[in-house]
Amino acid sequence: MMIERSKYLLLKTGTLLVLFGLSLPLASEGRTSAEEFRRKMLIHKSHIIRLATATMTAFPEHFKGIPMDLAISYLQLHDQPKIQDLATLKKYGYKNRHTLNQRLALLYQKKFGEGTADEQAEMSDVKNSLNGIEGLEKQEFFKSKGLDPNSEMIKSLLWLEKIVDVTDTGIYRRVEMHIPEDKKYDGANFLEKSGDSKGAVVSRWIEDNCNTLLKPPVSVGSCNSVYQ
């Protein structure tokens, strides 16, 4: 059965989060350490840039007018609050004594809508912090480049980010997101259900070619190994 996306927190860019917990964990079954979660996010972020640049090259008709160097600079901000230290987060008004990375490590594989009232409040707080900080960082980026965030070029860039994000999540973060290993095109199916058939076509192309696009592989195994 395909993952029910409505049970997870969905950021503006389509990034899926699993949230739970209040204190620092030790790694155990169903959990991950803060260090391991950060490593996973760094890999995911590297995938985002590599898949996005390949997609721009393969589908120039969809992303014309977006300079490659601008896209790369922008996409480096993707999920950035998940790996930032406390001092950096506090510059944006963050008040918790633990980093978002530490809190998210506790929340690994946890579903939105489950848990106690306190746990739900924690989920909401982490979601709002992530959305708020990443949004501010991207606003700063657009301002520094003299870009209008409502322009068609930026809308195309945000669309590209969403496509590669949900696609890589469906491939690389399957365990975290409870996606069955025999299910292909999770990202494409999500986009299709959201009414984005054009994005779904691009997502399927990425998944079909991910072994080549991510060479040399930076994650364990190959993209398609989970289907074999």
For the cut 50, the answer to whether the pLDDT of residue 223 exceeds it is: yes
Please say whether the beta carbons of 191 and 199 come within 8 A.
yes
Separation CA 100–CA 110 (nearest Å):
15
Least confident among 88-97, 111-120, 166-175: 111-120
Cα Rg of the chain, angstroms: 17
Confidence of residue 123 (pLDDT cuts 50, 70, 90): confident
Confidence of residue 27 (pLDDT cuts 50, 70, 90): very low
For residue 117, the number of C-alpha atoms closer than 13 Å in the C-beta half-sphere is 0
pTM of the model as a whole:
0.80
**For 9, phi and psi rounded to 5 degrees?**
-75, 130
Residue 158 has a pLDDT of: 97
pLDDT in tens, 49-104: 999 999 999 999 999 899 999 999 999 999 999 999 999 999 999 999 999 999 98
At 179 the pLDDT is 59
**Coil, strand or helix: which one is 25?**
coil
Alpha-carbon span 194 to 165, nearest angstrom: 15
The pLDDT value recorded for residue 85 is 97
Buried b (16+ CB within 10 A) or exposed e, 29-58: eebbbbeebbebbebbbebbbbbbbbbbee
CA distances from 146 to 135, 149, 157, 160, 166 (A): 16, 9, 15, 20, 28
Q: What is the mean pLDDT of residues 134-153?
A: 96
How much is the pLDDT for 196? 98
CA distance 156 to 52: 12
Residue that is written with structure tokens 């848990």 in the block: 115
Residue 29, pLDDT score: 41
**160 vs 10, higher pLDDT:** 160
The long-range contacts involving 137-140, CB below 8 angstroms and separated by at least 24 positions, are 137/77, 137/80, 137/81, 137/92, 138/74, 138/77
Whether 227 shows a pLDDT value over 70: the answer reads no
Q: How confident is the model at residue 10 (pLDDT cuts 50, 70, 90)?
A: very low
pLDDT(173) > 80: no
Percentage of the chain exceeding pLDDT 90: 54
131 vs 177, which has greater pLDDT?
Answer: 131
pLDDT, average across residues 34-38: 88
- What mean pLDDT value characterizes the chain? 80
